[in-house]
Amino acid sequence: MINTVIFDMDGLLVDSEPLWGLAMQEVFNTVGVTLTPDLWHKTTGLRTKEVVSYWHHHFQWTAKSEEQVTDEIISTVIRMIIAEGRSMEGLHYILDFFKERQFKIGLASSSPKRLIDAVVDNLGISPYFQAVASAEFEDYGKPHPAVYLACAKALGSMPLECIAFEDSITGMTAAKAARMTTVVVPEAHNRQDPRYALANLKLNSLLEFNDASLLAIQALK
C-alpha cells in the first residue's frame, strides 16, 4: 500500500531553476564561459559538481578548479534563493494534502545539503519532512536511483510504497529506476516531451493532484 511521498526540490517545490541559471552564468563568466539556454538544459537535474565537470570537460578553462567553481555556484544560488526565491504553485497545498492523510513525507534532491537546508528554511517547510536526502552523499546522482532509495530507507518505507514527485526527465528516470510510482510536473516549455510518458501521472501544477489522483495511483498497485 502506498503510504509515503518523496519530493524533488528544484523546479518542483521552489522556482529555483532560473536562479541556478543566473548563478551558474555569473560564476562561469569568471572563467570565460558563456552558456545559452539550450545548453543549460543538457545538464538539468544533475548534481552541481557533475554540471561543472561536464562543462569543464567541454570548455577546458584553467582560471579556477572544478571544486572552486562548484562551491561558488552553490554559495551564489543560496544567496539568490534567500533574496528572491519563490515557492512553486501549490507548494503548501500538496504538503498539507499528504500530511492530512498521514503519509510519511521525504525530500530527495540532487542539490547539496547546505542548499536544501537553506531552501526549506527560507520557505518555512522544514517541519513537513521526516527525511531529507541529498545526492551529494551518494556515489551517483540522478538519474541513478540512489538518492530516492536512501530517502525511502530513512523513512522506513519500501520503494513500492512510495510516490515520487518530479519535474525533470532526469529525476523521473531516477524515481522510476527506484521502482516508485512517479508523478511529474514538467516546466511549461517541456510538457510535450514524449519521455514523460514513462511517468504514472503528468500534471500541469501541484494543485491538480487530488483524492481522485491518489485513488488512481493506488489502483495501479
Rounded average pLDDT over 128-150: 96
- Same domain? For 104 and 212 the reply is yes
- Same domain? For 103 and 74 the reply is no
- pLDDT tens, residue by residue, 53-88: 999 999 999 999 999 999 999 999 999 988 888 999
Boundary (domain end) residue, out of 26, 58, 84: 84
pLDDT at res. 33: 93
E strands in 110-204: 131-134, 162-166, 181-184, 201-202
pLDDT at res. 30: 96
- Same domain? For 53 and 140 the reply is no
- Same domain? For 170 and 113 the reply is yes
Rounded average pLDDT over 148-161: 98
- Same domain? For 37 and 107 the reply is no
- Same domain? For 23 and 9 the reply is no
- Same domain? For 72 and 133 the reply is no
**pLDDT at position 50 over 80:** yes
Top-confidence residue, 42 or 168: 168
Angle at 157 between CA 112 and CA 174, to 5 degrees: 45
- Cβ neighbours of residue 126 under 8 Å, at least 6 residues apart? 120
Exactly one of 10, 96, 117, 121 is catalytic; which is it? Answer: 10
The question of whether 117 is a catalytic residue gets the answer no
Rounded average pLDDT over 188-193: 86
Q: Which domain holds residue 69?
A: 17-84
Boundary (domain end) residue, out of 68, 84, 100: 84
Percent of the chain exceeding pLDDT 70 equals 99
The question of whether 121 is a catalytic residue gets the answer no
Boundary (domain end) residue, out of 60, 84, 108: 84
CATH number of the domain within which 77 lies? 1.10.150.240
Q: Whole-prediction pTM value?
A: 0.88
Top-confidence residue, 218 or 90: 90
- Cβ neighbours of residue 215 under 8 Å, at least 6 residues apart? none
- Same domain? For 105 and 51 the reply is no
Rounded average pLDDT over 148-167: 98
- Same domain? For 213 and 104 the reply is yes
How many domains are contained in the chain?
A: 2
Exactly one of 8, 15, 38, 193 is catalytic; which is it? Answer: 8
CATH number of the domain within which 149 lies? 3.40.50.1000
Predicted confidence band at 221 (pLDDT cuts at 50, 70, 90)? Answer: low
> Considering only 36-50, 63-77, 128-142, which range has the smallest mean pLDDT?
36-50
- Same domain? For 23 and 106 the reply is no
